[in-house]
Chains A and B, each alone.
Chain A
Amino acid sequence: MVPLPTAPVNALFEYLQRLGDDRLILGHRMSEWCGHGPILEEDIATANVALDLIGQATMLLRLAGEVEGKGRDEDALAYWREAVEFRNCLLVEQPNGDFGHTVVRQFLFDVHAVLLLDGLTRSTHDGLAGIAAKSLKEAKYHVRHSGDWMLKLGDGTDESHRRVQRSLDDLWRFTPELFVTDAIDREMISAGIAPDPAVLQEQWQTIVRDVIERATLQHPGEAAPPASARGARQGAHSEHLGHLLAEMQIVARSHPGATW
């Protein structure tokens, strides 16, 4: 008999929204590529990543709604929360930019996702552990795909090298937020629900550094992020999220109470 997690319900609800929103927002961003990719094969690959992420978000937000116990399902959470109620990190809401920018954002996220999901497969929360096990296989493929593109673009042409280096330098400031540990995380760690972000950080740095080197790119350095590049987990987002949600939620919100 697995002991029930002892974390307060609202902390677990909060944590599940973080996991779910990261994947919902990034999946949404990836879906913006559909039909516009650099080559047909990659269009299909990008859509697969988007589908995986939105699928993971669906499971996580459904569980979040159940944990909350107020009758909200995944759609209620996705379509009827305001931007300040979203709990995704800043990295995933950044606009796609060019294909290289999307690759860098995806790679930085994917490495984190693999490490986090691996830890979550050992969660004391059975439902979450199950979702993590299924998602981990997907994430392992995602990082293989985005990692391969890091090498191809970093060590491709002068132009591609210049472009991804610029994207890496730009997006780097959003990465420390992935490892911020606040009261919610501490409750998750002590209940055995989630792994310690600080432990993940070391592994993340090793893997990312290795790929950056093999891609002949310059590591942006370990400097502390500016204060503006954190706080999204509490609702302090960039301006980009509001526009993303305006588009995502428009149809659903134009017809309150309708089924689709």
Chain B
Amino acid sequence: MRTALASVVALTLCVGVAQADTITPEDVMFDYGEVAQSLTGTPGDAANGIKVMTNRGLGNCIACHQVTALEEYPYHGEVGPSLDGAGDRWTPEQLRGIVANAKEMFPDSIMPSFYKRSGYIRVGDAFTGKAPANESDITTLLTAQEIEDVVAFLVTLKD
């Protein structure tokens, strides 16, 4: 009950700062892992998507995925599949769903859920190792727009 109340407060706060048409993590509609609707209504910026994918403090996608188009950014991991050709293999809606919460499509995936902010076991305050002062202060790993930006880049990855 207290958690629900806190969520309502958090939601209200978010709506206050974010654009009115940004979809909150709790309201994202997954359909077999796909998300049809843009999370923000603002078209993604592929150039910023690259930044999100390569920056350790943001998505750091290349920590696990090899991407030939991002070769200039060193050290690509091997934990996830290569993303070469991802724009051929997946629709934008599928890519949005996978980036937002891959576990909707692949329940056992190791991939973190980038647009989620609750339902964790011992969630911490970022990398401090400490519990957050208030669990409802936890923010998503990426913002809604950053997800759209990553998707905008991924759709360009054609074989």
Do A and B pair up? The answer is no
